[in-house]
A and B are shown apart, each in its own frame.
Chain A
């Protein structure tokens, strides 16, 4: 057996046992290329730093405590916004989804306000609330809310009518049907909505931190931009990408798959 086959076998078995490897290995050649390009002197170093520079800055900023602090600020903002979005969004979605009239009245309004988009609210929010936490939270809630509401409505509508009828004929009250049938039935869609919402919310947070900017990863990046420090910008991007990748690929996507697959609501 050739050495190539042996290595391949090792890789396949390794990734099968630890899927993380399959996620990390593809980045090795990219970082290597990046390193070669940066060290070749094709671009000025200040414009295009090498991986080693970014790693050094990472260590330095972590040691000084700036990076952990900013990261914490960003995450708390996102989490607060997302929680409020979920608490408001799910009941609203259930209401709109289970009443034909509410649906008719609210759906166009929802689509329109979703179309305005979070960032476009910033100027008027700044007039209303000033540069502060309220403005940031409002934007995040706004961003997270729509995907959750729209997907909850879709979820409620996807629940088969016979399921609700079955529950009613087994003696469930309207509230019980909502709690025992509609909500679990819509859950896969709700989680998809949450996943999309957080994806948009994350980006909105960065924009808000750049514009409103007092602290946070977005602020760090834009502050670095003002100082012309590419290293910190790239570090910020890597932190953002990595963090979101972990949250999305290892937490949200598995939950989405688990609810959908387990119940056989999603095939493939």
Chain B
């Protein structure tokens, strides 16, 4: 019991801080090593078997493609367009879904009535909306943001609803008996109580949205990572395709590991509400 008190040892920066930095650096090295090994294999195999560049590119040609597209600004433009769409759609989705989900989750009767509806729509989330979105909004920015919004909105609203309705009644009663009124109940109990589910919802919804984005960009626009890949296919530019795939993978890893996972760690796991790896 005394030993575990050290967990709150943020007051001792000295050796602990160095230790933690070393640890996370070592962790990063262990994580990156297999990926570097993969690149090495790629660098050896492609020249060795004289793979046709129209089938699979060499490391050097992908690096050249990267340098070219960075120099002429096209890579940044595609990335920027994709991120803007995902960011905007997700933002609108989360901002509208969370209040709605909480409002619906407050009454158990209402939430159990609405659950099948939201489940149905979260099943459709993302890609299935592409045909109708492009018909309603035409090809371009509006349709894609709508698809992203849809992917995020229903999944997050459903999860928020679920989250609020799984907060034990005793916890709500406890807050009420300690004098919490409507607004305090919302900010102090319902929102933090539903947060684990909200975070899960955002993670899942963003996963659907990211895939939806790539699909929609292949179909319905002339800028963005999906478009970059799909156009390169017309000219058998496999080095651009592989570059795009790597960028897409890295971007998602960054979003997931730097944004979503730490958020989960900082809240849910510390509170002991959910344990996962």
Contact = CB atoms under 8 A, between A and B. Distances in A.
A249 B123 CA distance: 11
Contact of B31 (A108, A128, A225): A108
Nearest to A25: B113
Interface stretch (A59-67, A85-93, A226-234, A254-262): A226-234
B33 to A, nearest CB: 8
Interface residues of A, number: 57
Contacts of A242: 120
A120 B248 contact: yes
B236 interface: yes
B55 A210 contact: no
What DSSP secondary structure best describes chain B's contact surface? helix
Interface string B202-239: 00000110111011001100000110011011001010
Interface in B112-149: 112-117, 119-121, 123-132, 134-136
A34 interface: no
Interface string B226-270: 100110110010100110111011101100100000000000000
Nearest to A199: B123
A172 to B, nearest CB: 27
Interface stretch (A50-58, A111-119, A160-168, A178-186): A111-119
A116 B128 contact: no
What DSSP secondary structure best describes chain A's contact surface? helix
Contact of B215 (A22, A106, A113, A207): A207
Contact of B123 (A23, A27, A241): A241
Contact of A154 (B136, B252, B277): B277
A236 B33 CA distance: 45
Interface string A69-103: 00000000000000000000000000000000000
A42 to B, nearest CB: 14
Given A241-B124, A245-B119, A119 B250 contact: no
Kindly name the residue among A113, A115, A228, A242 whose own CB sees the greatest number of chain B CB atoms within 10 A: A115
Contact of B245 (A106, A124, A204): A124
Contact of B131 (A30, A119, A221): A221
A187 to B, nearest CB: 18
Interface string B143-170: 0000000000000000000000000000
Contacts of A206: 127-128
A249 B119 contact: yes
Interface in B1-58: 30-35, 37-38, 54-55
26 contacts: A25-B113, A26-B113, A47-B136, A104-B34, A105-B34, A107-B34, A108-B32, A112-B35, A113-B249, A116-B246, A117-B252, A119-B218, A121-B245, A123-B244, A154-B277, A206-B128, A210-B219, A225-B134, A225-B135, A233-B132, A233-B135, A237-B124, A240-B123, A241-B121, A241-B123, A248-B123
Interface of A: 22-27, 30, 47, 104-109, 111-113, 115-124, 126-128, 154, 157, 199-200, 203-204, 206-207, 210-211, 221-222, 224-225, 228, 230, 233-234, 236-237, 240-242, 244-245, 248-249
Interface of B: 30-35, 37-38, 54-55, 112-117, 119-121, 123-132, 134-136, 207-208, 210-212, 214-215, 218-219, 225-226, 229-230, 232-233, 236, 238, 241-242, 244-246, 248-250, 252-253, 256, 277
Given A119-B211, A244-B123, 10 more contacts: A24-B116, A112-B249, A116-B246, A117-B210, A124-B241, A210-B131, A230-B135, A237-B132, A241-B128, A245-B119
